[in-house]
Amino acid sequence: MSVADTIREKLTSRFEPLRLGIIDESHRHAGHAGARPEGETHFAVTIVSAAFAGQSRVARQRLVYQTVAEELATRIHALSLTTLTPEEDTG
């Protein structure tokens, strides 16, 4: 399973998102620390979930980081997050 698929599966299972976008940005980091030639090291994630209601931006991000902690420790070098409630989603 690809890293992106693993991220999608874990976030979907935990947060039941209304919208989930995962973009592999590894190509933008070629030659940088943590980059691998095969990619799948740098991701941008946008997730919209009611589970974030009442949570600060930092608390939301911590929940996501906890959910993909294994991948962050082994396969993901960088993870950019946008975490929104359905009421905050304009996209």
Short-list 24, 19, 25, CA closest to 90? 19
Domain that holds residue 43: 3-84
Residue 72 covered by a domain: yes
Say how many Å lie between the first and final Cα of the chain, rounded: 28
Q: What is the pLDDT of residues 1-48, one digit of tens each?
A: 899 999 999 999 999 999 999 999 885 645 555 555 566 788 999 999
Query: Where does the pLDDT of residue 91 fall: very low under 50, low under 70, confident under 90, or very high at 90 and above?
Result: confident
More confident call, 78 vs 63: 63
pLDDT at 10: 98
Residue 69 covered by a domain: yes
Q: What is the CATH number of the domain that holds 14?
A: 3.30.300.90
Question: What single-letter amino acid sits at 78?
Answer: A
Residue 89 covered by a domain: no
pLDDT at 28: 62
Which structure tokens are listed for 37?
């030639």
User: H/E element holding 43?
Assistant: strand 42-48
Residue 90 covered by a domain: no
Q: What is the Cα–Cα distance from 33 to 1, expressed in whole angstroms?
A: 24
